[in-house]
Amino acid sequence: MTNMKSFSKQHGAMLLISVVLLLIMALAVSMYTGRVKTQEQRILLNEQNYRIAFNAAESGVARALGILSEEPSWNGAAVVNLLGNNASYAVNGASQQVPRQSSTVTLVTLNAQGNSPDGLATVNVQEQAMLYTVLANPPDAPLIVAGGLNVGGNFEVAANPNGGGTGVPLSIWTDQLVDMNNGSGTTCGLHEHQNGTCSTAPYSEKGFKDLDIVDNDPGFPTDLMEYLFNVPEADWSQLRTDADLRLNSCAALGPASVGLIWVDGNCTINANNVVGSVTDPVILIVTDGDITMNGGATLFGIVFSFRKPSTVANFEINMIGGATVNGVVASNHPVGHANGTYNAVYDADVLSAIEQHDAFMRVARVPGSWRDF
Is residue 26 domain-resident? Answer: no
Pair 128, 147 in one domain = no
CB 329 within 8 A of CB 342: yes
Pair 219, 336 in one domain = yes
Q: Is the pLDDT of residue 339 over 60?
A: no
Q: What pLDDT does residue 153 have? A: 63
Tens of pLDDT, residues 308-318: 999 988 898 88
Pair 236, 354 in one domain = yes
Tens of pLDDT, residues 28-60: 777 776 676 667 676 677 788 899 999 999 999
Q: How many domains does the chain have?
A: 2
Q: Coil, strand, or helix at residue 62?
A: helix
The C-alpha angle 240, 245, 248, rounded to 5 degrees, equals: 80
- At which of 78, 101, 133 does a domain end? 133
Could you tell me the end-to-end alpha-carbon distance of the chain, in angstroms, rounded to an integer? 81
CB 369 within 8 A of CB 127: yes
CA distance 292 to 300: 15
Sign for the CA dihedral angle at 221, 351, 354, 73 comes to positive
Pair 336, 189 in one domain = yes
- At which of 85, 102, 133 does a domain end? 133
Is residue 367 domain-resident? Answer: no
Q: Coil, strand, or helix at residue 359?
A: helix
Pair 276, 335 in one domain = yes
Pair 153, 125 in one domain = no
Is residue 233 domain-resident? Answer: yes
Pair 73, 178 in one domain = no
CA distance 147 to 176: 6
- With left for phi above 0 and alpha for psi between -120 and 50, is residue 112 left, alpha or beta? beta
Share of the chain above pLDDT 90, in %: 58
Sign for the CA dihedral angle at 189, 253, 291, 354 comes to positive
Pair 117, 218 in one domain = no
Is residue 370 domain-resident? Answer: no
Upper half-sphere CA count for residue 220 (Cβ side, 13 Å):
21
Pair 90, 218 in one domain = no
Q: Coil, strand, or helix at residue 4?
A: helix
- At which of 99, 133, 167 does a domain end? 133
Tens of pLDDT, residues 99-151: 766 667 889 999 999 999 888 899 999 999 999 889 988 999 999 999 877 76
Higher-pLDDT residue of 87 and 14 is 87
Q: What pLDDT does residue 338 have? A: 45
CA distance 354 to 30: 73
Q: Coil, strand, or helix at residue 239?
A: helix
CA distance 135 to 141: 15
Please give the residue range of the domain that contains residue 126.
50-133
Pair 102, 187 in one domain = no
What lies within 8 Å, CB to CB, of 11 at 6+ separation is: none
Pair 302, 346 in one domain = yes
CB 354 within 8 A of CB 302: yes
Tens of pLDDT, residues 243-279: 999 999 999 999 999 999 999 999 999 999 999 999 9
Pair 172, 67 in one domain = no
CA distance 343 to 188: 12
Tens of pLDDT, residues 146-205: 987 776 667 889 999 999 899 999 999 999 988 888 777 889 998 888 888 888 899 998
Tens of pLDDT, residues 193-237: 888 888 889 999 888 999 999 999 999 999 999 999 999 999 999
